Structure 1
Amino acid sequence: MLVSLTAIFLYFIMLGNVIPEQIDVHLSDVADEDIRSPITIENRQATEELRQTAVQEVEPNYVLKQEYAENQVGRVNDIFELVAQVKKENEPEDDANEDEEEQDEEERIEEKLNLVNDALSSATSQQLSDTTIRTLLETSDSQLMLAKEATANTVFELMSERIEANDLQEAKDEVNDLINISTVSNRLRDAMIEVAQFAIIPNYVFDRDSTERMRQEAAESIEPVMIREGQLLVQQGDVINVETYEQLRLVGLLEETLNVYPYIGLGLFILILMGMMLYFIQESQTTIRNNNSHFLLYLLVFVTVACLMKVTSYTELLGISGIGYAVPVATGTMLLTLLLNTRIALFTSVLFAIIGTVLYSEDGASSFNVTFGFYLLVSSLAGALFLNTSNRITRLLRAGFLVSCINIIAVLTLLFMKGLQNNLFEIGLHVGSAAFSGVAAAVLTIGLLPFFETGFSILSVSKLIELSNPNHPLLRKVLTEAPGTYHHSVVVGNLAEAACEKLGENGLLARVGAYYHDVGKTKRPHFFIENQLKHDNPHDKISPQLSTTIIISHPYDGADLLREHKMPKEIIEIAEQHHGTSLLKYFYHKANQEVEQPLPESQFRYPGPKPQNKVACIVAIADSVEAAVRSMQKPTPDKIEALVNKIIKDKLEDGQFDESEITLRELNEIALSMLETLKGTFHQRIEYPDEIKKGGKEHGDSRGSKR
């Protein structure tokens, strides 16, 4: 639900940057200002016109068909061979009677003529006259063979040259000059000329395939006519003509057009951003995954910075060069670093940069300002990296100064890569805005941090440092009412902090949690050995069961006391979980010595819960280690090491770490860290001469008294 609301909010604050501003212009109007294209789009109509022009400029392609000569010679030969075959097959037989021999010659010629016409194709028979065919039928075989060769040679000679359609008649007229054989009759010569003219056709013909291919290549060679993003469509004072009006319509600047694609594109853009955010939250091992309060805090910081960027983006409309670089985007990453952790801040830097590319596209020339996105990314990353988790005002201001330096470098980088076309005054405005951004981010962080900490009960570094102040009422209560417990808590804090830092956990939280983990002992301080000093031990006068009840109650008394003072729940959990469900072995064995039947261990165990996280585990180990080492007689490094390992092993075998994610390797690192700290606490001291003499006398007296 919160993510959906955030997505809707982002959609509406970025909508104005994505949807191009529509203008009210008409044909023949005079432009009041320069109009540039907000998008890159193809002018398809202009592209198609150029392609049609290119196609029309391609001349038809003609080719010389050499094979036509052979084909047409073959047709001539076919005609003469058909005539010869019909003549041969229809010759009268030698034994025919006189009546048949006297058959009318004209009828036989007519019959042969019909046979030839039937054998010829319809096109050929229509173009060759009956007179020509009759002449060939009446010609002797020898004359027919001579006519065939002469006609074929004439056709081949003429068809070997290029004959265009316009030159066809001229080529046919040349037949009269080439067929000039004196040995044939004029009638046969006319028939030969008709056959030859029939056979001659154009051999330089239009090649459709190659022409279409050339026209296609010409069309494809035309580049699309593009209206580029930021291209000047109309200059101030120009008249809106048909061409420019069509361009304005294409890019969606006219009020009569409605382009839904930018709306859909922005929705998909927001969907990608929210998807990235949800995936990070799901996969990252951070508190925002399971802690709704932290998740709400994250979204609130995210939305706050988005609003900050949106508001400052309007400064670009003022026309002041570089004023947009004053945006204190590092405020978001600084707050997230202090309130949550650095990993979340680094990831969110990328989201801020992506959103900024859209929010800072107010010039209308583009939906994305990648240059400004780079600046926002560098600035926000610097805010997360330079701050590191320190909350002191001096550290915050120092981080702001470093962010300013990085911002200046980033701005100069962008200016230099563009060729530094600005004058010195404009460069100064750019640099000044970038410097102001870092300082403003630090100041805003200092101002907003207390509100977020209070409103969401965030246990930030500043809050932890405040709680670690010895003047805190609860710590003063421990110091005055249970001084031994106070000293014990301070040492436990040292041990726990060093171990946490070695594991990469929150060492400051461990230290402060250790300070308050035994605050419940202030209810009955003298029942705990570190506060008894020279007083009698009250447990000697009461039953083991009652002693157990008193001892076991101190974690929960402390938790109740911490809740009364509205302490952070992380501190309360450490106080409540630092003993887990461990067994009070001393009172358990003492009680069993007084009864015949063994008592159940459950009566002498803390009710829990067991430590739920690594910090609570470390404080629990440090608490047991400090108490055990403090009670050792003449501790040595070897004895301390054996004792620390035994304590960790016993807690592990007792299942005290079962509900946390701590590993065996981490337990080993905890042991090594505590050994290093304890060696510094229980180091060997040099005995001075007076102390040696005093010590020797005391030892002598002691030995004497023993004897």
Structure 2
Amino acid sequence: MENRKKTIKQWWNGVKQQRYIKAILITFTAVFLYFIMLGNVIPEQIDVHLSDVAEEDIRSPITIENRQATDRLRAEAVDNVEPNYVLKQDYAETQGGRVNDIFELIGQVKNEQEPTDEEADSETSEEEDLEEKLATVNEALSSDTSQQLSDTTIRTLLETSDSQLVLAKEATSNTVFEVMSERIEANNLQEAKDNVDELINISTVSNKLRDAMVEVAQFAIIPNYVYDRDSTERLREEASESVEAVMIREGQLLVKQGDIIDNEIYAQLRLVGLLDESLNIYPYVGLAMFVVLLMGMMMYFIQESNSTVKNNNSHFLLYLLIFIIAVCLMRVTSFTELLGIGGLGYAVPVAAGTMLLTLLLNTRIALFSSVLFAIVGTVLYSQDGTSTFNVTYGFYLLVSSLAGALFLSTSNRITRLLRAGFLVSCINVAAVMTLLFIKGLQNGWLEVGFHLGSAAFSGVAAAVLTIGLLPFFEAGFSILSVSKLIELSNPNHPLLRKVLTEAPGTYHHSVVVGNLAEAACERLGENGLLARVGAYYHDVGKTKRPHFFIENQMSQDNPHDKISPQLSKTIIISHPYDGADLLREHKMPKEIVEIAEQHHGTSLLKYFYHKANQEVEQPLPESQFRYPGPKPQNKVACIVAIADSVEAAVRSMQKPTPDKIEALVNKIIKDKLEDGQFDESEITLRELNDISLSMLETLKGTFHQRIEYPDELRKGGKEHGDSRGSNR
């Protein structure tokens, strides 16, 4: 049965270290976050119809352009732009030129086809010749011109003499130029043409020719104040672009309670997605991307952090549980905003999450998680539907979470939790006051007081919640927290009382080792409290045979003088592992067990090794007199091992002086380094030097030189020497 339990435990430990476990946990957390935030991202659908009366105020959940209204305003702006007309000064010369061209053409046709004397005597009549010339002119003229000039006019011009034709050309051309020098619009074109009859008033020409001249002039006169298409289009385009887009802002009131839903309001409701007409998948996809980004940030930080969460799946599960608890607290508290009581959401004890993370795992992870809590909180507190992200609560959650982590970062006492909770309350109140002042303090003083009271309650609730949850997490995940270490350092602990009563010399030795190890750990930035408590328990195995260790022999005979070196070796070497077994029986944290088991590593029992070699002819292998290990696996275990050797060696010195102590400490560290005792702990040479300096400072205060008082001088040196010998 015992073997079966051991096999199951080994299998479970193996499963906990599998990589796919972490993938499963992070996937579950991502799904949890997705669904807990889904209700805040997906717009609420409302059941309204045209001509209904709004039962409540309806606000826009998003910011979007109302393109229909924008297009309408732009169309109105374009319609308001009048057509642009320009005066074409060159039209007068152009049309005057056309008049000259007509007269020159007629003169050319007329002169080219003058009948010879023989043709004049022929049977061809004058009428036929005129018709031929008329046909030639019509053929030469453009179709538009030939259609507008009557045959009568052309005949008249063909029958006119050359001198009269030149006079008619000049008069007609000048008249056209004079008339078109003024602005002629399309709607007053006829008026301009009527002016021609008054301007062409030449008495030297016949009425018939004058009528022909008037017709040609009226034909040539066209509007010179014309529509400019390019400039008009440019002006209309500028007018259209000057119209700003009509935006429906996030939180904008679309319809008040009691208003009638008309076509315009109904179109706006459809535009912002409040009508249950079609499924918009973009919010779902956007939320999924949001969650993936959060989980990506979390995993990247954990992989880059130097913490147990990176490689220990149990600690990773603990982290995710605390993260989910904090999110659930925000989710539950966010619903209070729907009650219409302003500021009740500030009561969320989100700082409990960072407090637990600081005490159980790592301060850096707690600080990073504060940012994640704030980001998630901006979504969870958007309950009013007017915004996807509530930045106000995001700022508050960030400040409160950071305060919870920072005020516990150097805590060594469980009582500091309540003090930290009070400080978090103060920071929360300051944050809320900041937000209220920025907004202009538009609330009444009663409401302000409720805001501040909720913020103050948050810090106290966070401390109480942390105190309540801390023991469960410590027991369930075997977490060695600060509070647990403080509890284990209590001299009334059964194992420490056992050491004190059964091996008092070992107890005193352990206390001094704890002082040395704690100071060295703090110098290196390691867990000094863990080193101290581990040192208290590192020699608990000596209680099994206390009198076989010199610090417990007092004035008794040394039992090793009566037994073989091999048996002495067996007794001495067994004490780290006897202590580890005893610690496991008392359900002590594995970190304490590991320190007790590793504090001698695989070092050599030099005294008994050399003693055994004196009794044999062939040298014995060192492996028979070495501890079986393991070697120290971390820096704290290394420091405790060094402190253990240093304290024992310095205590055995006859007359310790600072120079002797320094030489001895350096030699011990050098011997352990050369013996490979630090190979598995990743400790550096610089850190070993810092450890040496720290222990020297502590030892100077412990083994300082004492002043010999007169009574002691009279007792003599022999008695003084005997007292030193009894301490060894």
Q: How much has 1:136 moved relative to structure 2? A: 4.5
What is the DSSP-based 3-state SS (H/G/I as helix, E as strand, rest coil) of the residue aligned with 2:407? Answer: helix
Q: 1:415 to 1:99 in 2, by over 3 A?
A: closer
TM-score of the two chains, using structure 1 as the length reference: 0.91
Task: Pick one of 141, 145, 149 that aligns with 1:124.
Answer: 145
**C-alpha distance after superposition, 1:472-505 (max 9, x if no partner):** 2222333333333222221111111001111111
Whether 2:645 is the aligned partner of 1:615: answer: no
- On the 8 A contact 1:338/1:389 being kept in 2, the answer is no
Letter in structure 2 aligned against 1:234 = V
Whether 2:68 is the aligned partner of 1:42: answer: no
Q: Which residue of 2 aligns with 1:21?
A: 44
Letter in structure 2 aligned against 1:379 = S
- On the 8 A contact 1:338/1:391 being kept in 2, the answer is no
Task: Pick one of 390, 394, 403 that aligns with 1:373.
Answer: 394
Letter in structure 2 aligned against 1:52 = A
- On the 8 A contact 2:414/2:483 being kept in 1, the answer is no
Q: How much has 1:464 moved relative to structure 2? A: 0.7
Q: Which residue of 2 aligns with 1:360?
A: 381
What is the DSSP-based 3-state SS (H/G/I as helix, E as strand, rest coil) of the residue aligned with 1:205? Answer: strand
Q: 1:458 to 1:90 in 2, by over 3 A?
A: same
Instruction: Write the mapping of 1:474-553 to structure 2, written as runs, cut at 5 A.
Output: 474-540=495-561, 544-553=565-574
What is the DSSP-based 3-state SS (H/G/I as helix, E as strand, rest coil) of the residue aligned with 1:649? Answer: helix
Letter in structure 2 aligned against 1:325 = Y
What is the DSSP-based 3-state SS (H/G/I as helix, E as strand, rest coil) of the residue aligned with 2:254? Answer: strand
Q: 1:59 to 1:541 in 2, by over 3 A?
A: same
Q: How much has 1:630 moved relative to structure 2? A: 1.9
CA–CA distance in 1 between the matches of 2:527 and 2:220? 105
Q: 1:184 to 1:653 in 2, by over 3 A?
A: farther
Shifted more, 166-175 versus 220-229: the winner is 220-229
CA–CA distance in 2 between the matches of 1:475 and 1:698? 33
Q: Which residue of 1 aligns with 2:11?
A: none
Letter in structure 1 aligned against 2:99 = V
Letter in structure 2 aligned against 1:315 = T
Instruction: Write the mapping of 1:446-465 to structure 2, written as runs, cut at 5 A.
Output: 446-465=467-486
- On the 8 A contact 1:389/1:461 being kept in 2, the answer is no
Letter in structure 1 aligned against 2:39 = G
CA–CA distance in 1 between the matches of 2:250 and 2:423? 36
Q: How much has 1:187 moved relative to structure 2? A: 4.4
Whether 2:284 is the aligned partner of 1:271: answer: no
Q: CA RMSD in A?
A: 2.9
**C-alpha distance after superposition, 1:298-345 (max 9, x if no partner):** 111111121122222222233333222222221111111111122222
- On the 8 A contact 1:249/1:257 being kept in 2, the answer is no
Q: How much has 1:108 moved relative to structure 2? A: 6.1
Instruction: Write the mapping of 1:203-222 to structure 2, written as runs, cut at 5 A.
Output: 203-222=224-243
Q: Which residue of 1 aligns with 2:200?
A: 179
Task: Pick one of 672, 681, 702 that aligns with 2:693.
Answer: 672
Q: Which residue of 1 aligns with 2:679?
A: 658
Gaps of 5+ in 1: 702-707
Whether 2:427 is the aligned partner of 1:427: answer: no
Q: Which residue of 2 aligns with 1:397?
A: 418
Instruction: Write the mapping of 1:60-71 to structure 2, written as runs, cut at 5 A.
Output: 60-71=83-94
CA–CA distance in 2 between the matches of 1:445 and 1:532? 47
Q: How much has 1:399 moved relative to structure 2? A: 1.4
Q: Which residue of 1 aligns with 2:348?
A: 327
Shifted more, 131-140 versus 363-372: the winner is 131-140
What is the DSSP-based 3-state SS (H/G/I as helix, E as strand, rest coil) of the residue aligned with 1:233? Answer: strand
Task: Pick one of 330, 333, 336 that aligns with 1:309.
Answer: 330
Q: 1:100 to 1:534 in 2, by over 3 A?
A: farther
What is the DSSP-based 3-state SS (H/G/I as helix, E as strand, rest coil) of the residue aligned with 1:15? Answer: helix
Whether 2:29 is the aligned partner of 1:3: answer: no
**C-alpha distance after superposition, 1:43-86 (max 9, x if no partner):** 22222222222222222111112222233233333334444555
CA–CA distance in 2 between the matches of 1:278 and 1:408? 33
- On the 8 A contact 2:134/2:151 being kept in 1, the answer is yes
Shifted more, 587-596 versus 388-397: the winner is 587-596
Shifted more, 685-694 versus 106-115: the winner is 106-115
Shifted more, 65-74 versus 253-262: the winner is 253-262
Whether 2:690 is the aligned partner of 1:634: answer: no
Q: How much has 1:666 moved relative to structure 2? A: 2.0
Q: Which residue of 2 aligns with 1:161?
A: 182
Shifted more, 356-365 versus 161-170: the winner is 356-365
**C-alpha distance after superposition, 1:531-569 (max 9, x if no partner):** 344444454555555544443333333222222222111
CA–CA distance in 2 between the matches of 1:541 and 1:122? 145
TM-score of the two chains, using structure 2 as the length reference: 0.88
Query: For this pair of structures, how many residues does the alignment match?
Result: 698
Q: Which residue of 2 aligns with 1:577?
A: 598
Q: How much has 1:649 moved relative to structure 2? A: 2.6
CA–CA distance in 1 between the matches of 2:291 and 2:170? 88
Q: Which residue of 2 aligns with 1:195?
A: 216
CA–CA distance in 1 between the matches of 2:646 and 2:108? 129
Gaps of 5+ in 2: 1-23, 723-728
Whether 2:625 is the aligned partner of 1:625: answer: no
Q: How much has 1:662 moved relative to structure 2? A: 2.4
Shifted more, 441-450 versus 209-218: the winner is 209-218
Letter in structure 1 aligned against 2:436 = L
Letter in structure 2 aligned against 1:73 = G
Q: Which residue of 2 aligns with 1:345?
A: 366
- On the 8 A contact 2:414/2:482 being kept in 1, the answer is no
Q: 1:174 to 1:478 in 2, by over 3 A?
A: same
Q: Which residue of 2 aligns with 1:72?
A: 95
What is the DSSP-based 3-state SS (H/G/I as helix, E as strand, rest coil) of the residue aligned with 2:365? Answer: helix
Q: How much has 1:220 moved relative to structure 2? A: 2.4
Q: 1:157 to 1:700 in 2, by over 3 A?
A: closer
Task: Pick one of 556, 565, 582 that aligns with 2:577.
Answer: 556
CA–CA distance in 1 between the matches of 2:275 and 2:551? 85
CA–CA distance in 1 between the matches of 2:406 and 2:194? 97
CA–CA distance in 1 between the matches of 2:709 and 2:36? 76
Letter in structure 1 aligned against 2:329 = L
Letter in structure 1 aligned against 2:441 = L
Q: How much has 1:99 moved relative to structure 2? A: 6.3
Q: How much has 1:150 moved relative to structure 2? A: 2.9
Whether 2:702 is the aligned partner of 1:681: answer: yes
- On the 8 A contact 2:64/2:249 being kept in 1, the answer is yes
